[in-house]
Structure 1
Amino acid sequence: MNAGQVGQALADRARKRRRVLDILDAAGRDSLLLTSHTALAWYLDGSRVHISLAGDPIAALLVDRTGDRLITFNNEAERLAAEELPPGVELHTVPWHGQLTDAVGALAGPVGPLAEKSVATELRAARQPMLPGESARYAQLCADAAGAMTDVLSRATPETTEFEVASALAARIVAAGAEPLVLLCNGSSRNAFRHPLATHSPLGRRAMAVVCARRHGLVANVTRWVRFDAGTPDELDAEKRIAAVEADILAATVPGARLGGIFTEIQSAYARHGFGADQWTLHHQGGPAGYAGRDPRATAAAATDDVVVPHQAFTWNPSGPGVKIEDTVQLTAAGTSVLTLDPRWPSSDVNGLPRPLTLQL
């Protein structure tokens, strides 16, 4: 990092620490133990605290009024210290065969730390407004993910298999220093599936690909379609209508709105644009984005009725039979900015935003 980036990182870290101390003040406690991938990546500016993508974090972080103490296993400490930890974080170890919690008592004192799950809502609120440094990292990741989609799908043919698309996307995501958390692809023989894990089936005349890529703890989400003919009238009509559903959702996603209100708009948008009132029940609709694929996934439940704030990121993914649209966006001072944008990909203007079209080859 250059001097400006270092200064920005230090300023961002100080603001994050202040947000956590505010949570402690409100709870009347002196320490908090962060244990989830989402919370750790956010607080540590994207430090990689995993080995297996499917495994638990290899560290826990004790935040108290005197500082930040990371507890990890002795076989992980050297790499974390050399390559991952931001300045000012103390490192403590337990044996590789021990438990991270073994060191917490001695570090936290007799009262013990607040458990992360007990302030999950407050921590989620602390993550919502992205700071300048993480916003810049997120924008670059999203651009890289969108570029990978263009690189791979523009070279596809009807004979290309779904696994070949997924493997090519994985190669580009990893080469960009990111981790492919989700890779989906369906050809024309499997376009009824909303979460299509790849198979050896060829793409045929039309296909969808989905990438969720993580770097610096942040997750970019993007869906793209490609076809090898002019498309049927029904497909072209459905693509326009699902874009209209998304446009209504994005228009409702403004600072001060509540997720519950946006979810109500989602439900009515499907009916308004000819998909039927129950279409929202057939797949999840997305929600706030950032350090988790969705943070949280929006539903009609009161538990996810968060207030939208400036500088927050979102990924909505409305879908219907054979159609879906998905990009990662951020609410900026100038309005909604599409982050997963590649100027090489065909797009159309919808309410002032560039929205992806199906790539026709």
Structure 2
Amino acid sequence: MTTTTPSRVGGTDTGSDERRTKQRRLREVLDRADQDAVLLTSATALGWYLAGARSHVSLAADPIVAVRVTRDDRAPGGVADDVLVTDNETARLVHEELPDDVTVWERPWFAPLPDLRACPESVLADALRAARAPLLAPEIDRFARLGRDAAAVLTDALAAATPDQTERELAGAVAGALAAHGADPLVVLVGGLARSSLPHPLATDGPLGDRALLVACARRDGLIVNLSRAVAFRPLTAGERDAQHRILEVERETLDATRPGVRLSEVLTVIAGAYERHGFGADHWRGHHQGGVAGYAGRDPRATPDTHDPVRLGQAFAWNPWAPGAKVEDTVLLAGDDARPAFETLTTDPRWPVTEVGGRPRPVVWERG
């Protein structure tokens, strides 16, 4: 490998409070683990540590960047950052993506990573995940702007949708609009009436019909928002309206249970009970993952019976209660304080119809018929 110290155009401000805070958090992780260095290689860790730098080329491939973070008492943040790149990607990364206080190491695109004598990221996964919380003020601002953009895209797409439009046509419109906003469309699901019983309806050539569910996960600046919206081209039936009411009540109990110090596994237990209390059955929660912490991964982490991470103020969450024909999902921020926590919805568009549930405005099916 060769080391370079190229000139900078753009990138992250080396003196930013956000960068220094993240460096200090990484130093604390290394100190507690008694490790001299850690090698960050996942899109989640890199997106967080590099403030949303685009470390990928293909969305389906691993990042093309790795960062070795080494304890260094002489550095302002207590660590030194060595960024490893392939030489065919250096120009873009240096001029457009990387902080200007790092050392860039190049290797040929066909050469594997050398032995760097650093702790693998996987060994410190739990500690690194904790270090990503709470979100910092600049991160919350970026997250909120992405949430508003993504919500507007879904509103626009469903405002223009028609019953004879195909699922793929709607998915394509959404993916293109997200890309136009600078966001990666990581997930775009579309289910028309005929496929309303599926938890994850990948788009087909079938028409939407009388109803459609649209789900999107969009990434920008490393952060990922998750949201779902549904449209009906006719008035809802009594049964559909009842299912919508009950799924919103499941979400209400979920949000009420998401309080500082409560473990994610405990929130999941509340969700399972809520499904039963609202007529969906005791085991209904098994039919779809229920969501979890939102941030630099689709869920960071997803709530399971074995996920014991505590809820923290300043974290974002994306819960997604689901039943055939009924779903609700937004990305929300847990704000306030321990005594009076409150949720702020990040994925909002004032044009979308809502109803009040538990004192919160929540999205409902848009009845366009």
Q: TM-score range by the shorter chain?
A: over 0.9
Aligned AA (2:180): A
What is the Cα deviation at residue 232 of structure 1? 1.1
Q: Is the 8 A contact 2:13 2:100 kept in 1?
A: no
Residue number among 335, 338, 342 corresponding to 2:345 in the alignment? 338
Residues 279-329 of structure 1 show CA distances to partners (whole Å, capped at 9, x for unaligned) of: 00111100001000001111101xx21011111000000111211111000
Q: Is the 8 A contact 1:205 1:228 kept in 2?
A: yes
1:1-361 matches, within 5 Å, as 10-66=16-72, 67-99=80-112, 101-102=113-114, 104-105=115-116, 112-301=117-306, 304-333=307-336, 335-361=342-368
The whole-number CA distance in structure 1 between the counterparts of 2:321 and 2:215 is 13
The whole-number CA distance in structure 2 between the counterparts of 1:291 and 1:9 is 22
Aligned AA (1:25): D
What is the Cα deviation at residue 242 of structure 1? 0.1
TM-score by length of 2: 0.92
Could you say what secondary structure the match of 1:327 adopts? coil
What is the Cα deviation at residue 231 of structure 1? 1.3
Q: Is the 8 A contact 2:14 2:99 kept in 1?
A: no
Q: What's 2:5 paired with? A: none
Q: CA RMSD in A?
A: 1.4
What is the Cα deviation at residue 87 of structure 1? 2.6
Residues 310-355 of structure 1 show CA distances to partners (whole Å, capped at 9, x for unaligned) of: 1100000011121111100011126110111100000011122210
Could you say what secondary structure the match of 2:215 adopts? strand
Residues 245-280 of structure 1 show CA distances to partners (whole Å, capped at 9, x for unaligned) of: 001000111111111110110110000111110100
The whole-number CA distance in structure 2 between the counterparts of 1:312 and 1:178 is 21
Q: Is the 8 A contact 1:37 1:57 kept in 2?
A: yes
Which range is displaced more, 7-16 or 33-42? 7-16
The whole-number CA distance in structure 2 between the counterparts of 1:154 and 1:114 is 50
Q: What's 2:8 paired with? A: none
Which range is displaced more, 43-52 or 23-32? 23-32
Q: Is the 8 A contact 2:155 2:349 kept in 1?
A: yes
Q: Is the 8 A contact 2:226 2:318 kept in 1?
A: yes
Which range is displaced more, 86-95 or 292-301? 86-95
Q: Is the 8 A contact 1:226 1:360 kept in 2?
A: yes
Q: Is the 8 A contact 2:320 2:330 kept in 1?
A: yes
Q: 1:81 to 1:92 in 2, by over 3 A?
A: same
| Identical residues among aligned pairs (%) | 50
The unaligned stretches of length 5 or more in structure 1 are 1-5, 106-111
Could you say what secondary structure the match of 1:288 adopts? strand
Could you say what secondary structure the match of 2:111 adopts? coil
Aligned residues: 347
Aligned AA (1:84): E
What is the Cα deviation at residue 59 of structure 1? 0.9
Q: 1:9 to 1:201 in 2, by over 3 A?
A: farther
Q: What's 2:9 paired with? A: none
Off by >4 Å, runs of 4+ in structure 1:
6-9
Could you say what secondary structure the match of 1:154 adopts? helix
Aligned AA (2:255): L
What is the Cα deviation at residue 128 of structure 1? 2.3
Q: Which structure has greater helix proportion? A: 1
The whole-number CA distance in structure 2 between the counterparts of 1:86 and 1:188 is 48
Residues 209-237 of structure 1 show CA distances to partners (whole Å, capped at 9, x for unaligned) of: 00000000100100000001111111100
Q: Is the 8 A contact 1:128 1:313 kept in 2?
A: no
Could you say what secondary structure the match of 1:119 adopts? helix
Q: 1:63 to 1:356 in 2, by over 3 A?
A: same
